[in-house]
Structure 1
Amino acid sequence: MPDSHPATAGANAPFPDIVGSLRAELSCEVTGPGDTDWEKRRVAWNTHVDQHPAAVVVPEGAEDIRAAVAFARKHALAVAVQPNGHGATTALSGTILIRPVRLRDITVDTERRRVRVQAGAKWKELQEALDGTGLMGLPGSTADNSVIGYHLGGGLSWFGRTYGPAAEYIRSLEVVTPEGELREVTAENDPELFWALCGGGGDFGVVVSMEIELLDERPVYGGRLMWAAEHAEEVLRAYVATTRAAPVELSVWLWFVTFPPIDAIPAELQGRSFANVDATFLGTAEDAEKYLDPLREVPGMEADTLGPVSVTRIDEVAGEPTDPMPAVDWSQLVTKIDEEFLKRLLELNWPGGGSPVVAQLRHVGGALARPGATAASGLAGEYLLTTVGVPITEEDAEAIHRHDERLEAALADRLAGYGHPNMLGHDTRTQRAHSPENLEHLRRIKRERDPAGVLRGNRPVLGSPG
């Protein structure tokens, strides 16, 4: 069915003084166009997304969030939440944007093996809080994103092949509903809303805090292998062979990358192209090397950082940037890898061959494929193909989009038609975020729970507003 969206909340609703009225009703910081801090407050981490909210609210607690949602409902406006903006989209323009950057409390209960995390806390802060407890969560590739945003988008973890999506470990959520009510949501007291919140994104409630079940910390072996671009085909074939023999404890990601000539990149890498493999293994070095040694046998390897890794520093394996930057992303699940897939992938993404993107192939599957428990469960493919380009100019962005369109067309018969909510680009349509079955279920819940469209996630499940 075509995307549609309630015509009320925040599309172009006339309102004479949103900022002034919010300041009169809320006791926290409210920023609007023309204010000194406006640019700082409105801009997302992904600086390519030029979002223009109507106002930005920086809450001091749950009551400020409740009041902001109640205000929006009363005046036919929409509310969105954005701690950082790694997954920003222009869908948030025109909203009252809540930035919970001051809500960063983390409370670890080692006896219950639970942690309560507030909406503004980042993964690096959670990792620090868990250090020395013998417990761990399910981190992704960066520690700079928000814990709650990551979980609401499903939570695609390094350890997901073993444990499943991080969203499956949410045990309760403190939520402000579209009616402006603060309540606790669990699988027992509201299973349908709980299912939607766990992987369905920010369309169903403003999450003030979340309780997550923790796991026993395990030894981790991981790091990066690097080859010059001329070895890309050999590396790709060895990578596929490694994944096909991999136990669920092993996660392996392949990158084709050309490093730009910028100061943030070591001088010896600037302008050079590589085929890289990043890996983590839950277990001992001896067990890991049995599966990874065939990759090491590919000739021409220039770097090998594999070794024991602390869970609290797992983000160093991928080494993703933490400073705000422009990015154009694309991703889809891969349903079939064969000779034709490898040929087409290499033709369009040979490192150093003029591709404007970094291409990554992640091995998923395992527990990530099991159906049912959350809106992010049951990934359809064994691999996730993603690209990211860094546009300096609008012409760069257009070139990246053209490349991604060619790639999708070339591989269409081997793609699932959708990706993972954590890994989608700023302009990716809602249909690409979920399986058709899950998307229809999410849309039904949205229509029933928020018919006025008071809440708006990065990718509204009923489509773009207006």
Structure 2
Amino acid sequence: MTATAPDHLNLWLELLSFPGADPMVAIDSTSLGEEAEDRSLMRASEALPTPLSDTRALMSVAELGTITAEPTDPVPGSSRAELLTSLDDSALDALLETPIDPLLSVQVRHLGGALARATDNPHGALSEQFSVYMFGLPVTEEAAESITKKQADLALTLPTTGRKPVTFLNPSESLADALPEESLLRLRRLKDERDPAGIFRGNFSTFG
């Protein structure tokens, strides 16, 4: 479906593993188009087994977080994101051949659209068509280590580009994992010129 999706339709594949429940697969979608057109564009999903639920409906922007049941209160989490060079059969095999435990979810996110267009922001356009986002709940130190290892092992089996979107960096990463060297140098120069006292701060230092 992603191969023919117009810019206004976005699709995610989710692999879910909740404690005490059978593994599940979900398709998340958002669109700025007409409902009838979008259901037609997603007709291929009708060939799948009958879903446990189909919550597709018109909604406001304020309700978008409900699509993936995003928490509204702070919760502990350990995440890792990668941009993919492709989503071919070998990549799908790597995602599906083993359980995702101890991860809670693995999301394959469809990119493209406005993200792929030329831009003058520090990151530049996203030429990659897909990203993968791996998330777990580090409720204990042992769980945290197990989650980190699973994320690393899964990333090694996927065709990743080696760079990441800035908004998906985790605490163990830095802006150098997301931005080209020339962008980092420009940001450092601007920081020195406009904010030498370091008043404005972010989660990731331009010098880190």
What TM-score does the superposition give when structure 1 sets the normalisation length? 0.42
Number of the residue aligned with 2:119? 372
CA apart distance, 1:311: 2.5
Q: Mark the CA change 1:439 to 1:333 in structure 2 (over 3 Å): closer, same or farther.
A: farther
Q: Take 2:92 and 2:182, find their aligned partners in 1: how far apart are those partners? A: 29
Q: Mark the CA change 1:417 to 1:382 in structure 2 (over 3 Å): closer, same or farther.
A: same
The answer as to 2:32 corresponding to 1:282 is: yes
CA apart distance, 1:355: 3.8
The answer as to 2:119 corresponding to 1:360 is: no
CA apart distance, 1:436: 4.0
Q: Take 1:438 and 1:302, find their aligned partners in 2: how far apart are those partners? A: 46
Q: The residue matched to 1:276 in structure 2 has which SS?
A: strand
Number of the residue aligned with 1:442? 187
Unaligned runs of 5+ in 2: none
Q: Mark the CA change 1:277 to 1:429 in structure 2 (over 3 Å): closer, same or farther.
A: same
Q: If each structure's strand is expressed as a fraction of its own residues, which one has the higher value?
A: 1
The answer as to 2:43 corresponding to 1:293 is: yes
Number of the residue aligned with 1:257? 16
CA apart distance, 1:340: 1.7
Worse-matched range after superposition: 302-311 or 246-255:
302-311
User: For each residue in 1:181-201, what CA deviation from the matched residue of structure 2 results, as whole angstroms up to 9, or x when unmatched?
Assistant: xxxxxxxxxxxxxxxxxxxxx
Q: Take 2:96 and 2:182, find their aligned partners in 1: how far apart are those partners? A: 32
Counting only pairs closer than 5 Å after superposition, residues 419-434 of structure 1 correspond to structure 2 as 419-434=164-179
Q: Mark the CA change 1:394 to 1:362 in structure 2 (over 3 Å): closer, same or farther.
A: same
The answer as to 2:72 corresponding to 1:326 is: no
Number of the residue aligned with 2:96? 346
Cα pair 2:102 2:146 within 8 Å, conserved: no
Number of the residue aligned with 1:389? 136
Which amino acid in structure 1 is aligned with residue 6 of structure 2? P
Aligned residues: 208
User: For each residue in 1:114-153, what CA deviation from the matched residue of structure 2 results, as whole angstroms up to 9, or x when unmatched?
Assistant: xxxxxxxxxxxxxxxxxxxxxxxxxxxxxxxxxxxxxxxx
Number of the residue aligned with 2:205? 460
Cα pair 1:328 1:426 within 8 Å, conserved: no
Cα pair 1:332 1:417 within 8 Å, conserved: yes
CA apart distance, 1:423: 2.1
Counting only pairs closer than 5 Å after superposition, residues 124-143 of structure 1 correspond to structure 2 as none
CA radius of gyration, larger in: 1
Q: Take 1:346 and 1:296, find their aligned partners in 2: how far apart are those partners? A: 21
Cα pair 1:380 1:416 within 8 Å, conserved: no
User: For each residue in 1:229-285, what CA deviation from the matched residue of structure 2 results, as whole angstroms up to 9, or x when unmatched?
Assistant: xxxxxxxxxxxxx1111110101111111123xxxxxxxxx5232111110111211
User: For each residue in 1:195-239, what CA deviation from the matched residue of structure 2 results, as whole angstroms up to 9, or x when unmatched?
Assistant: xxxxxxxxxxxxxxxxxxxxxxxxxxxxxxxxxxxxxxxxxxxxx
Cα pair 2:102 2:143 within 8 Å, conserved: no
Unaligned runs of 5+ in 1: 1-241, 261-269
Number of the residue aligned with 1:403? 150
Which amino acid in structure 2 is aligned with residue 358 of structure 1? S
Cα pair 2:79 2:170 within 8 Å, conserved: yes
Which amino acid in structure 2 is aligned with residue 284 of structure 1? E
User: For each residue in 1:273-302, what CA deviation from the matched residue of structure 2 results, as whole angstroms up to 9, or x when unmatched?
Assistant: 211111011121110011111112212422
Cα pair 2:187 2:206 within 8 Å, conserved: yes
Q: Take 1:455 and 1:408, find their aligned partners in 2: how far apart are those partners? A: 34
Q: Mark the CA change 1:317 to 1:421 in structure 2 (over 3 Å): closer, same or farther.
A: same
Q: Percent identity?
A: 33
Cα pair 1:389 1:400 within 8 Å, conserved: yes
Q: Take 2:44 and 2:166, find their aligned partners in 1: how far apart are those partners? A: 32
User: For each residue in 1:43-72, what CA deviation from the matched residue of structure 2 results, as whole angstroms up to 9, or x when unmatched?
Assistant: xxxxxxxxxxxxxxxxxxxxxxxxxxxxxx
Q: The residue matched to 2:83 in structure 1 has which SS?
A: strand
Q: Take 2:112 and 2:152, find their aligned partners in 1: how far apart are those partners? A: 25
